[in-house]
Amino acid sequence: MTRGSKDIIKLKSLTKRYGVGDAEYFALKDLNLTIKSGEFVVIMGPSGCGKTTLLNMIGLLDRPTSGEYHFDGASVEKISRRRQARLRSSKIGFIFQSFNLIPGMPVIDNVALPLVYCGFGKTRRHKIASKILGRFHLNEREFYMPHQLSGGQQQRVAIARSLVNSPSVILADEPTGNLDSRSSHIVMEELKEIHSQGNTIIMVTHNANLTTYATRVINMLDGTIFTDLKTVVDKESPVPKAETVVKKSRRRTKERGKKSEKKTGTKVKKAKIEVKED
Ligand SMILES: Nc1ncnc2c1ncn2[C@@H]1O[C@H](COP(=O)(O)OP(=O)(O)OP(=O)(O)O)[C@@H](O)[C@H]1O
Ligand SMILES: [Mg+2]
């Protein structure tokens, strides 16, 4: 990430409520978050703490109950659903744990799918998809069906699909959750490469080892941000060496943060803690 990068995502007091009355549940509570262009953010936290809900909001797949969302400087609430869809298809790429490839569709059409929304003809779509599949060494599998591929290959197809429209932000929800360690490594190396080209990556994971790829590690708890740490990666070593704390959302989280770090066993070390009230 370069110094002075612009704010690509800015969330202010974001709240997401599911259900009403007795069934009311706040999946996100008054959440504030700013992500700069070029960051590689890893989001962790216990099951049910709101990680996927947050990614869905950022990816414009769902709307918050209240709060503000600015994407690349523009207020998302103020634009029509149609323009939101256009923004999503041109600027945001998605990678999911379960790959989400369309089963009866050859690999090349799966990868080319986001380009349909850009209005490109089939020949052009295939040409672009084939080029990107080549980058993932999958040209020989272009006309395979997804079920004929291994899990790792399916996830690489999904990554190719997420990149086909050259988005600037990649959202990945447990992209290695269904993969063995070798396939996970390959997928993470691909994400690292995509990040090194200047893209912003926001990845949810339960695997603390993957924080080594991050420039920033956010821990969520009960629908809000619990700790938020920036990492400084030493080029000689793949493991972050030192870091400065960006923000902690609540004073009371200071002690609990230490416990959570021990629990996850992350190699990330805290250099300094600065507590700010929002
Ligand atoms: N459509 C929905 N209707 C009602 N409640 C929902 C809905 N989607 C999510 N929730 C609730 O919101 C909370 C946060 O869900 P979310 O999927 O964001 O968790 P998560 O942190 O991604 O968990 P996991 O690590 O298990 O994927 C959960 O308690 C969940 O039950
Ligand atoms: Mg989830």
Residue 180 CA to chain centroid, in angstroms? 20
Instruction: Examine residue 278 and state whether it is found in any structural domain, yes or no.
Output: no
Instruction: Examine residue 276 and state whether it is found in any structural domain, yes or no.
Output: no
Instruction: Examine residue 174 and state whether it is found in any structural domain, yes or no.
Output: yes
Pocket test for ligand 1, best of 14, 53, 98, 226 (most atoms within 8 A of CB): 53
pLDDT at 109 (0 to 100):
97
Please provide the distance, in angstroms rounded to a whole number, between the alpha carbons at the two ends of the chain.
25
CATH number at 204 reads 3.40.50.300
- For residue range 149-198, list pLDDT tens digits in order: 999 999 999 999 998 988 999 999 999 998 889 888 988 998 999 999 99
> How much is the average pLDDT of 203-226?
97
- How many angstroms does the Cα of residue 34 sit away from the middle of ligand 1? 22
> How much is the average pLDDT of 232-258?
47
Interior/surface letters 73-107, b for 16+ CB within 10 angstroms, e for the rest: eeebeeeeeeebeebbbebbbbbbbebebeeeebb
Q: Locate the ligand 1 atom nearest the alpha carbon of residue 206 and give its number.
A: 25
Ligand 1 site residues (CB inside 6 A) read 18-19, 25, 27, 45, 47-53
- For residue range 23-41, list pLDDT tens digits in order: 999 999 999 999 999 999 9
Mapped onto helix, strand or coil, the DSSP state of residue 55 is helix
- How many angstroms does the Cα of residue 66 sit away from the middle of ligand 1? 17
- For residue range 253-266, list pLDDT tens digits in order: 444 444 444 444 33
Mapped onto helix, strand or coil, the DSSP state of residue 65 is coil
Q: How far apart are alpha carbons 201 and 106 in whole angstroms?
A: 27
Max CA separation in the chain (angstroms) = 58
Ligand nearest to the CA of 206: 1
Q: How far apart are alpha carbons 114 and 110 in whole angstroms?
A: 8
- How many angstroms does the Cα of residue 52 sit away from the middle of ligand 2? 4
Among candidate residues 42, 59, 88, 53, the one with its CA nearest the CA of residue 195: 42
Does the CA dihedral 252-255-259-261 come out positive or negative?
A: positive
Instruction: Examine residue 277 and state whether it is found in any structural domain, yes or no.
Output: no
> How much is the average pLDDT of 88-104?
92
User: How many structural domains comprise the chain?
Assistant: 1
Does the CA dihedral 34-217-51-149 come out positive or negative?
A: positive
Q: Locate the ligand 1 atom nearest the alpha carbon of residue 25 and give its number.
A: 5
Give residue 134's domain range: 7-264
Instruction: Examine residue 273 and state whether it is found in any structural domain, yes or no.
Output: no
- How many angstroms does the Cα of residue 226 sit away from the middle of ligand 2? 17
Instruction: Examine residue 271 and state whether it is found in any structural domain, yes or no.
Output: no
